[in-house]
Each structure stands twice: as C-alpha cells, then as structure tokens.
A and B are shown apart, each in its own frame.
Chain A
C-alpha cells in the first residue's frame, strides 16, 4: 500500500512532465512557414561579398550594403525605390506617408538633402503617388511615375504616367512624358537614355481580364512609342547595363512564374533575348558596376521572403541582328523579337542574403 502511494506520488509529476513535454514538442513541429520570421539585414552577414555599393529596402527602411556588411541609413519612414544619381553622390528615394508618396534627395549616408515633390493633401483623392525615380545619364532630369492626371469623369481612375522634371528644379516644371491606358495601373519603370530616349513599361488589360506588361521605347517627348517586347511575353522591370548595350528584364508570359532575360539593346531596339533563369518568382534585376553580373531578388526558405541573389553572366556579346527587329506600336501583338532561347550552359545563381525580407518592388541601386 505504501509502495503504491509512493509510486503514485512519483508518477504524477512524471505524467505532468511527459504531457507537457508532448505539448511543447508538438509546438516545435510547426512548419517553418509559420515559425520563420525575417531578420533585419544589419543582423545578418551576406554569404557573398558583392563588388561596389548597393542600396536595398526592407520594411520601409533603407540599407546600404558595402564590403560585405549592411548599414541602415536614412530617417525613420516608409522608404522605397532608391536610385543613385549618375555621379554616384546622391540617392533619390520614395517616401510613402499614408495616402501619398514623395521624392527626396538623400546623400549616400541617408541624410535628407531636399524634398522634391509635395503630393499630400487633406482631400483624399487630391493626394498623389510618385514612384520609380530615375535620373537621366547627364544628371539633369529626374524621371518618375506619377498618378496625374487622374480620370475624373465617370469611374475614378488612377493610373501612373511617366513624368520628368529638372533634378534641380521644382515640381511645377515637370512635364508629362507618356500616355497610359486608363484603368490599367499605367506606365512604370522609366529608364532615361542618353539624349532624349526613354524606356518604360506599359500595362494593359484585355477583355478576357488578362493583364499585360510591355517594355516600350520612345525616342523623344511626344514621339510614337515602339514596343521592345512582345505583348504576350509580359516583360517588365527593365534594367540597362552600365554601357547601355544590354537590357535585363523579367518576363512571365502571363504565368505566375518568371524568367530573367537579357537582350542586346541597340539604342532603339532589342535583339534576341537569352533566358538566364526560369521558373521562379524573380524580381528587380540590377547590373553590377562592371556589367558582368546581375543582382536580383527571389524567394528562399519556407516563408518565401525575398533574398538577394547574384548571377555572374555568360558572354553576352551584342547581336548584330538586334537592329533587324521590327518595332510595331505598343498595342501590336505580333512578335517583335526572336524567340527567347535558353543558354547552353546556364549560369549558377549565388544566394547573397539569408533570413531577411527584402522589398522586391524596390530594385537594388548598385554602383
């Protein structure tokens, strides 16, 4: 009898401990999807040291990656889409604040030098969005996507239009540069070229609800735009190589996976594109300072947070056939470039960051 009581006294805590252990053990069996939380870039060490200096964004915070370590820069706020000026002395970045966004000039350590736009208003629909800043190669003009003019008759329409303004001027001096399709989301990702040329992305929606993105070229303000990519290829996020001879882009073909493609660029037309990567969610390609590699974002890990990747490029000699491409108008659906073909020996991407959650809609600014 006494032994039984002793056994009972011993068994009770044992059972309690075992039951609790099972409970806690089950908690550890949760998938990484639920458990994985992103770290700040500054709490991580890149697995690969990139040449030069790069600016990226996570959760509205600006980070500078230099010599293999991250530094947070800039004041608190919802920052995005940093772009470096051609002389590599300043950043232009977007600051979102509730119902609007504005462009700011910052130095490379994140100190605000100047506010370029004023897009906020107490009247909700009098606010404006501005995104995708990019400075012209000569450093004089700033190009960006701006939701003005708005469609005011009938259903409210808010579409992004490409604008430009003198970098040292005021918003009043800004000029419209594109005419988007209404109710499509509009035009984005301007890349000003030397002279008066401009590359940008136009969105359109067909009656079957299929959405298209197409990379366009405009030789000068007011000129008819030419399509650089086929409508059905759904290409976007163009990035021009430092020497201006190659265009990297993301193409989906209307699918929920993407390709990273590179095509020779003659100054007004694209040659045959090469598919470098295929089958994942790739975003925001950016050229290395020497033009021999690309950085981009893609998810890694169970949580699907976007990480920075590096891709050394195979030989991408410009093709003489590039100028042979026809360039019909933006709405044309005929093929305007040769079929993309996979490279014989695909380059191997290297994952640079791990455990962070970089903003894939803010392309890396790299010099």
Chain B
C-alpha cells in the first residue's frame, strides 16, 4: 500500500473512531435533546392576535422564558400537575441583564382553557401551552420559551452540580412540609428546619428552602423570593460547567425537565450564563398589598391581582 494512502487512511480511521467515541459520550445528550428540548407547544391565539405557535426570538435578541416548577409526585396524573412555581425570566444577552418576575401560584385569573381559577391550574388543564397562553393573556407579555422542571429534577440537578451556595436569610421552619417524595403515603407531612446564614445546600435542603411556605408571614410571596434566590445559585454553579458535564446533567433531569428551547439556545444560555452577575439581575415579587390582595373565591383562598399596578411593571420590564 502506498505510504500516502496508508497515512490518509489512518487519519480517516482515527477521525471516525474519535467521532464515534464523542458520539457515544454525548449520546444521552442527543437523546434528551430530541426528547426533552425543542418541545413544540401550540399556544392558542391571544387577544393581541399573535400567531401561534410562538416563534422563537432570533439568536442574540432578548427573550422571555416562563419557568415552571411542579409537584410531579404520585398525587397527580402524569403531565396534569399544578405549577407551584411560575417565574417569568427576561434574558438580554447583549446587555447581560436578567429580570425575574414571580407569579403567585394562587393568583386568580381567567384561564386560556376557559373559566377562572388559580393560575397554577393552567398547566394541569392544558399543559405548557395553556400555562403560556394564560400568562400571555393576563400579563400582556410575550413568552418566547418555556422550561418545566419537576421537584425530583430540581433535587437531582442541584446534587449533580455538587450543591449550591447561598445566604439563607432567616430560619425556614415548617411543621407541615409535604412528605411526598419517594414515600408510599404522599399525603403526609414532616418537619423541616433550614438554619440561616451562608451555607452549601444539597438538593433536598435547597428544595426545603424553596418549597416551605407555612411559616413565612408572606406565604407564597416569601417562597417566590427564595425560589429566585435558588435560581441565581443554580445559575452561578451552572456557569462553571463545561460541555463534558452535559451527559451527567441530562441524566439527572431524565423525565424531570422539558423545554421549548432547542439545544442551540440551551448551549448559548450556558455560554452567556457566566457573564451575568447579581448586580445585573432584577427580582420582582407581586407582593401584597401593592400588587395583589388576599381574597376568597368559591371557598378557596386566592390572591387577587391589582392589574393597574402589575401591568405597568410588566410592560416596563418585559417590553
């Protein structure tokens, strides 16, 4: 065999085998990319007349993500869960600014699927499309993408990240914290205590911190503020990840994560995450009494929106 041909053949074979090795390594990422990212949602046309499904914002342009967090335990049928956490996040890649607005889960609004209910029910009636449409119609905001994560997914994600560091602002104590993960009786309760101060939290402790609400004078609003805090902790940790970490992260989120974002946007988000810092992050909570008030509807305790206060804030921060 001619030496040149042999050399070429050797290089080609090595390239092919190297690609095969890399493909094997990233295979779980590809599978997840197909199964969990790029989820198509058909959002019903809104009163603003926007076309559906939602076209993604062009690369580099500001975009808005609706983050959804759910109990995905045995209390619910698959994909008919309540979204206990709903956070609108606007990312401005050019100016490196992030704005987060927590939507109270008990906010009483007209649902896109018909009728009125607490906003956390939208997802259970019509999945991500209904949640997005309900948020868009009520808040007069355009949602470009969504991401949904289950409770177990959050625990696993934080554990795979090796835990997160944050400053716990006050003792978070709860005598009626849901004991519904990996148990037979998922209607039980347990006591939790997360002590204040800077600390390294694992997934379970971080979940207790963001999920507990019984002993917070601001109830769900206080919990929303803690959820934003943990999101920033996750972001800080995620910014140090490398592409080689993706298979581990994907494995942690198996079945616990769905997003409309394609792999390209997820990858670009990881890339820019490092550039964001806390000083460029704005956090908004629709607290009582300015933005909302407590009320009773059909025997349910609900949060009533003050749209005249909410919408200007939304318009200013989610143009």
Contacts and interface: CB of A to CB of B under 8 A. Distances in A.
Given A182-B217, A211-B169, A360-B199, A99 B191 contact: yes
A185 B173 contact: yes
Interface stretch (A104-112, A152-160, A310-318, A335-343): A152-160
Contacts of B9: 7, 11
Interface residues of A, number: 79
A205 B193 contact: no
B79 interface: no
Contacts of A157: 215
B264 interface: no
Contacts of A27: 25, 244
A157 B212 CA distance: 12
Interface in A51-105: 98-101
Q: Interface of chain B, helix or strand or loop or mixed?
A: mixed
Nearest to B6: A7
B198 interface: yes
Interface in A21-44: 21-23, 26-34, 36
Nearest to B14: A18
Nearest to A12: B13
A196 B174 CA distance: 32
Interface stretch (A122-130, A216-224, A262-270, A344-352): A122-130
A256 B240 CA distance: 18
Contact of A19 (B21, B196, B217): B21
B128 interface: no
B135 to A, nearest CB: 21
B232 interface: yes
Contacts of B21: 18-23, 26
A163 interface: no
Interface residues of B, number: 66
Given A30-B244, A182-B217, A207-B218, A124 B200 contact: no
Contacts of B165: 281, 299, 304
A61 to B, nearest CB: 15
A283 B199 contact: yes
A261 B16 CA distance: 59
B197 A306 contact: no
Interface stretch (B44-52, B146-154, B156-164, B255-263): B156-164
CB-based closest 8 A-B pairs? A22-B21, A185-B171, A15-B17, A183-B217, A19-B21, A19-B17, A185-B170, A29-B244
Interface of B: 1, 6, 9-10, 13-14, 16-18, 20-22, 24-26, 160-167, 169-176, 189-191, 193, 195-200, 214-218, 221-222, 224-225, 229, 232, 237, 240-245, 248, 278, 285, 287-290
